[in-house]
Amino acid sequence: MARKHVALTPLSLMLLTGGSLTANAQSAWENPPTPPPQHEKQNPAVEKNLKVFDTLDFDVFSNQKWNRLKESHAADIVVTWPDGHETKGIEKHIEDLKALFVFAPDIKIKTHPIRFGSGTWTAVTGVMTGTFTKPMPTLDGKSVAPTGKRFALGMVTLGHWKGGTMDHEWLIWDNQDFMNQIGLGK
């Protein structure tokens, strides 16, 4: 069977080609056969950062409240994406986050199965769900037609905190798993 090659936007390409987590079926991300243990109480400073992060994913990101991103992200935030490329500044990060909703407007993060931290660091797992229902823009000005397929993508976010906001955020997920789930993989 011949494979179709398309030129994707940088963010779409990053979603489809990077990543480092082991691929799993979408149902396993949402309903793991062996759930993680209960969250452990962290020291007060770490717990405060984790609560800010919960609000970030569950409310700010999931409901696209971009004017509130400054509650968790420094103005000069550095974001390292799954393919290793970095962006700088909250405005660029907001632009990139908005791009996710172009082809999957129902994206949500509703759970952090594992969350902990130490000192100025937090580590959080999440499950990002959505449906590929809108065209995905490509670099050549064309688009990839939506497949209507739902995805549930396991992800990890590592955050370094300074002065109450993250100054560096590392986003980690398996882009091959994502591509397979939305029907663009093998």
Contact 154, 178 (CB under 8 A): no
Give me the domains of the chain, ranges plus CATH numbers: 20-27+42-166 (3.10.450.50)
Task: Determine how many CB atoms are found less than 10 A away from the CB of residue 175.
Answer: 23
Taking the whole predicted model, whether its pTM rises above 0.85 is answered as no
pLDDT in tens, 120-134: 999 999 999 999 999
Which is it for the CA torsion 127, 146, 65, 171, positive or negative? positive
pLDDT in tens, 9-51: 445 544 444 433 333 344 688 888 898 999 999 999 999 999 9
